[in-house]
A and B are shown apart, each in its own frame.
Chain A
């Protein structure tokens, strides 16, 4: 049981380049989200999804796009990378009822130069 899988683990981009961070979960969770972690700021919500075909913005959505075509996958797209997007990105999926609560992936460390 893999849980939440993020790829790649590390990435270096040049300013202006685009890329997609991949996230997949095998727990049949309806809820998925993307967070970014910056020193001294905790984790901040970028985008989230409550089910296939449904997405919404979080606290810091600018410069990022998401889509949710299947329950399992929730990719995060950086449209035109900027140095301010240098961060560690975490994907998480959430269960309901007794299993309420998020399971986090191991993260993608992104550097934009």
Chain B
């Protein structure tokens, strides 16, 4: 049981390049999330998917797109990277039920845009 996995662990992009961050979970969770973490600002929600087939914007969605490929996988795409998107990106998942709201986080992707 790997939990939540993310690839890649590190990435350096030039301004204007595109890339996709991959996330997968093997806990049969319904909900999945993408956060970015900047120093002193905590975790900010970019997009989330309450269930397979649905996605919604979070607090900071501009410059990003997501795809909920199936129940296991939730990807985050940067179409044209900007230096302001330099951050650590965390994927998370949770079981959407009346008894459990706990979010499980992946190990993170450290992205630098030059």
**A and B: partners?**
no
Task: List residues of chain B with CB under 8 Å of any chain A CB.
Answer: none
Task: List residues of chain A with CB under 8 Å of any chain B CB.
Answer: none
